Amino acid sequence: MRSRWFSIILGLFALTLACSAPASAVDAGFTQFIASLWPEVQAAGISRATFERETRGLEPDYKLPDLILPGRPPTGAPTQPEFVRTPADYVKETAIAQLAGEGQRLLQKYRPALDRIERQFGVPATMVLAIWGRETDFGRSADHYDALRVVATQAYVGRRKEQYRTEFVLALKILESGAVARQEFRSSWAGATGLTQFLPSEYFRHGVDLDGDGRIDIWHSVPDALASAAKQLVDKGWQPGMRWAYEVRAPANADCTSGVPEVRKPIGAWLGAGFTPVRGQALSAAEQAQPASLLQPEGIYGPSFLTTKNYFVIKEYNFSDLYVLFVGHLSDRMTTPEPFATPWSAGTQLKTTSVEAMQKQLTRLGLYHDKIDGKAGMQTRAAVGAYQKSAGLKVDCWPSEAVLQSLHP
């Protein structure tokens, strides 16, 4: 406990210097901060030799997003495409079709490993391939950052310091294990690494050595990476044999404000209320008994879905509805060459700052009770619909410029 408080004091002192001191002083503070972490590193069973080797010459990267530096404006997290692009642009048919074709080829190439994943974890082969395709374009999209430098910087001056202290220690543990060489230990700006993008803590929590070579290698071994993705889904509650969602047509009288996770009814009840599967397929009694929530990513515009528990399990991988739609639809397309039955609209997406302003006003009115994060997710869309009802506006549950202007008369 004393060592942790000492490191915090050192960090605060160094950050104060950052307002007026040259870069070398800031780097000296960073070096002291890293040195102060040795007791935690040692407690994790990591050798002094590994600690000194991997941290020698380590410098912070103050160009990373999501940092808090005194005397500088908060950098904030970078704008994720899942939250600023329209559904039509994010779940683009040309991209889905191309990745689905590649996924079909990979289904054959890795068939033995994928069969084993399906048997062992109950996760469809196409689902883990879709995650791989979305996360790193089947390994073609290279990470640009030194993973250890990222987690060290985030632990020092990031918004989630305590989380990244742990990630830093576990990143060192990965390096000591020899699972990956330092020069290949690359990550995103947030520290996610490997073919299926795991934080170091996720690597130790969900990693699987499927190829049996004695190490969990999510950077080079496709079987290990895909099995690890499957285990993460299972650990978060994946239900074997259950679809992720059903595309449906909503009845004219559907209430878009009910499109929140808290409103869950058996699929049969939704069908009884007038929702119909888009291609007229008959659902079994077991399927109709499954609880589901309504999802309308563009409000009343664009496709509608009845989402099962597995939808929300995928959402644990990435919290965006569009991410889950991309992954789920890509998984389906590897076996069924049919696009969404209902086209996306040509609507525009508000900027993050505008959505934040809308969320603040909706919170003030008592209609929104979630995070002010600038992301137009389920709760925001439902709150918009509730406001439209109260204001006598057209109820479409879509955060548009018109709604924003109405909230700021």
Q: Are residues 166 and 22 in the same domain?
A: yes
Q: Are residues 149 and 284 in the same domain?
A: no
Residue 33 lies in a domain: yes
Residue 9 lies in a domain: yes
Q: Are residues 365 and 303 in the same domain?
A: no
Among 193, 209, 226, which residue terminates a domain?
193
Q: Are residues 181 and 70 in the same domain?
A: yes
Whether the per-residue pLDDT at 242 is higher than 80: the answer is yes
Reported confidence tier of residue 73, pLDDT bands at 50, 70, 90? low
Residue 223 lies in a domain: no
Whether the per-residue pLDDT at 200 is higher than 70: the answer is yes
Task: Give tens-digit pLDDT for 366-389.
Answer: 999 999 988 889 999 999 999 999
Q: Are residues 185 and 262 in the same domain?
A: no
Reported confidence tier of residue 75, pLDDT bands at 50, 70, 90? low
Whether the per-residue pLDDT at 29 is higher than 80: the answer is yes
Q: Are residues 360 and 303 in the same domain?
A: no
Task: Give tens-digit pLDDT for 102-149.
Answer: 999 999 999 999 999 999 999 999 999 999 999 999 999 989 999 999
pLDDT over 70, % of the chain: 90
Q: What's the predicted TM-score (pTM) here?
A: 0.89
Q: Are residues 254 and 371 in the same domain?
A: no
Tell me, what's the pLDDT at 17? 45
Q: Are residues 60 and 157 in the same domain?
A: yes
Residue 382 lies in a domain: yes
Q: Are residues 34 and 168 in the same domain?
A: yes
Q: Are residues 178 and 51 in the same domain?
A: yes
Task: Give tens-digit pLDDT for 311-336.
Answer: 999 999 988 899 999 999 999 999 99
Both structure tokens of 116: 């084993």
Say how many domains are in the chain: 3
State which residues form the domain around 289: 245-307
Query: Quick one: average pLDDT of 192-218?
Result: 98
pLDDT over 90, % of the chain: 80
Among 286, 307, 328, which residue terminates a domain?
307
Q: In 3D, which of 260, 372, 237, 259 has the Cα closest to residue 313?
A: 237
Question: CA separation (Å) from 319 to 83, 316, 322?
Answer: 10, 6, 9
Query: Quick one: average pLDDT of 152-168?
Result: 96
Residue 42 lies in a domain: yes
Q: Are residues 63 and 179 in the same domain?
A: yes
Give dist(CA 154, CA 241) in Å, integer: 39
Tell me, what's the pLDDT at 74? 57
Among 254, 277, 307, which residue terminates a domain?
307
Residue 104 lies in a domain: no
Whether the per-residue pLDDT at 10 is higher than 80: the answer is no
Residue 125 lies in a domain: no
Q: Are residues 69 and 151 in the same domain?
A: yes
List the single range of 84-98, 226-240, 324-338, 383-397 with lowest mean pLDDT.
Answer: 84-98
The CATH number given to whatever domain includes residue 376 is: 1.10.101.10
Whether the per-residue pLDDT at 258 is higher than 50: the answer is yes
Residue 167 lies in a domain: yes
Reported confidence tier of residue 276, pLDDT bands at 50, 70, 90? very high
Query: Quick one: average pLDDT of 91-101?
Result: 95
Whether the per-residue pLDDT at 67 is higher than 70: the answer is yes
Whether the per-residue pLDDT at 11 is higher than 80: the answer is no
Mean pLDDT score of the chain, rounded to an integer? Answer: 91
